[in-house]
Amino acid sequence: MVRLFFVLLLLLPALSVAEGAVQLALEGKPPVTLDEVYHRDGVAYLAVDEVLPVLGLSGSWNSVKHIYSIKTPRGRAQMSPGSQFLRLGGQFQPLTNPPSFIDGRLRVDENFVVIHLPALLNLSVYYRNLDPTVEQLPAPSSLDRLFSFLLRKQKPAGVKGLRAVAIDPAHGGADPGSMGPNGLKEKDVVLAVAQGLQKRFKMHLGLPVYLSRDADYSLTAAQRFAAVNKPEVDALILLHAQAALSETARGAVLFIRPQEQRAADGGGDSMALASQLRQALSQAGILVTAIERAPLLPLGQGDLPTVLVELGYLSNSTDRELLGQSAGQERLAEALYRGLKAFAQQQQEIE
Ligand SMILES: [Zn+2]
């Protein structure tokens, strides 16, 4: 019985949820008390529907596309549950913690309210957490702690090429990621592509590929990136797919850490990896719209060659043909495999 109790404890969500209250206002306006506040891991989460009116904004949830859209003076800002950034036009505002559904409502963390939204909209916001247990600065979330670790290249001198690759098919389990109008889920697309990539590495190169998940289940942040710190991992690919309110948005986008852009040699190894992936995708007839520099948390710090690949838009019918069918998923896997192989060969020549 005691053992059963412990098993049940382990099955509880790792992040416990508790309630509290906060005060919020546009600077100069009287504060409004929001009392449906949940605390996860020391961070307050607020219902985005309650936050926006206090700041003179409005938003709407598209349950088909799984996108929350905020009407702002600068246009529509969009985000999805589980997404790492808020998008406004071509600009990406990285989020400390992804928005998520808690108790039936889409909730954003307090950093969203006091940092990200004001930064994006040039707003000044008054915010006070009234819960004495979290009155002090919120503890860094486990995600922040995890990514404050450096993802370092750990290659000993004399070792050439790639020794192993880590692939992270994003989301999984209760978190579907983005969704297409026909119910196509990001979590399923990225898993299929990751498995196709792994198969090719095993067949052709005999190289170990570590997937963060090999089926449809959710992962803690620590589990998700456990493989990255294996010393033989010489590259990390994070696979995502996105959705937009506009049907016309399409194409893949590759993201690398911004600090590597400033490397004197023209962008560092992540840029070299992204360039090879872009070339291979283009050669396979797959549209790549850009290589972006974005301080996305999953990219971590450091210099491990890392590229976050947004494979395409689940909301676009052309992209959906590629993303939603196994032939298209195989094409994506083949192109990414060729890109990684070209990167491995390039590394062999340089080192
Ligand atoms: Zn995603």
156 vs 165: which has the higher pLDDT: 165
Residue ranges making up the domain that contains 82: 12-139
The phi and psi torsions of 255 (rounded to 5 degrees) equal -115, 140
Instruction: Note whether 194 and 290 are same-domain residues.
Output: yes
Q: Identify the pLDDT of residue 7.
A: 36
Residue with tokens 């004495």: 132
Please list, in sequence order, all residues whose beta carbon lies within 8 angstroms of the beta carbon of residue 8, skipping any fewer than 6 positions away: none
Q: Which is higher by pLDDT, 78 or 2? A: 78
Given 79, 106, 139, the domain boundary residue is: 139
Mean of pLDDT over the chain: 81
Looking at the structure, tell me whether residues 109 and 188 fall in a common domain. Answer: no
Give the distance (Å) from ligand 1 centre to CA of residue 63. 16
The residue from 117, 139, 161 where one domain ends is 139
Average pLDDT of the residues in 5-16: 37
- 75 plus 205 within the same structural domain: no
Domain co-membership, 20 together with 118: yes
Q: Residue 210 pLDDT more than 60?
A: yes
Which is more confident, 253 or 87? 253
Nearby residues of 210 by Cβ (< 8 Å), 6 or more positions away: 164, 165, 166, 167, 227, 230, 233
Nearest in space to 139 (alpha carbons), one of 80, 97, 81: 97
Position 27 confidence tier, pLDDT thresholds 50, 70, 90: confident
The pLDDT value given to residue 111: 81
CA 175–ligand 1 middle distance (angstroms): 10
Is the confidence at residue 321, as pLDDT, over 80? yes
Stretch among 53-57, 58-62, 115-119, 318-322 having the lowest mean pLDDT: 115-119
Considering its fold, how many domains does the chain have in total? 2
Q: Are residues 162 and 126 in the same domain?
A: no
Q: Do 191 and 116 belong to one domain?
A: no
Indicate if 19 and 153 belong to the same structural domain: no
123 has pLDDT over 60: yes
Residues 174 and 322 both lie in one domain: yes
Measured in Å, residue 276 CA sits from the centre of ligand 1 at 22
43 alpha carbon – ligand 1 mean position (Å): 22
Show which of 119, 139, 159 is a domain's final residue. Answer: 139
User: The domain that contains 216 carries what CATH number?
Assistant: 3.40.630.40
In this structure, are 279 and 162 located in the same domain?
A: yes
Residue 68 covered by a domain: yes
- Here the CATH number for the domain that contains residue 64 is 3.30.457.10
Query: For residue 163, is pLDDT > 70?
Result: yes
The alpha carbon of 162 and the centre of ligand 1 are apart by a number of angstroms equal to 26
Same domain, 341 and 197: yes
Is 14's pLDDT higher than 50?
no
Question: How many angstroms is it from 240 CA to the middle of ligand 1?
Answer: 4
- Compute, in angstroms, the gap from residue 330 CA to the centroid of ligand 1: 19
Residue type, 48: V
Task: Give distance in angstroms: CA of 171 to centre of ligand 1.
Answer: 6
Q: Are the C-beta atoms of residues 15 and 222 closer than 8 Å to each other?
A: no
Q: Which residues contact 348 (CB under 8 A, 6 or more apart)?
A: 160, 161
Q: What pLDDT does 297 receive?
A: 60
**Weakest-pLDDT range from 23-32, 122-131, 322-331:** 122-131
Lowest mean pLDDT among 19-23, 40-44, 260-264: 260-264
pLDDT grade for 72, boundaries at 50, 70 and 90: confident
Considering the domain architecture, whether residues 107 and 183 belong to the same structural domain is answered as no
Calculate how far, in angstroms, residue 242's C-alpha sits from the geometric centre of ligand 1. Answer: 6
Q: Establish if 7 belongs to a structural domain.
A: no
Cα 70 from Cα 50, distance rounded (Å): 12
- Chain centroid to Cα 182, Å, comes to 22
Residue 2 lies in a domain: no
- What is the DSSP secondary structure assignment for residue 115, as one 8-state letter? I
| Tokens matching residue 169 | 């098919």
- Do residues 135 and 158 both lie within one domain? no
53 CA → ligand 1 middle, Å = 27
Q: Which DSSP string corresponds to 216-250? A: S----HHHHTTGGGSTTEEEEEEEEEE--SSTT--
Looking at the chain, the whole-number percentage of residues with pLDDT higher than 90 is 34
What is the pTM (predicted TM-score) of this model?
Answer: 0.63
Distance (angstroms) between ligand 1 centre and the Cα of 35 equals: 30
Q: Which of 45, 42, 43 is nearest to 34 (CA)?
A: 45
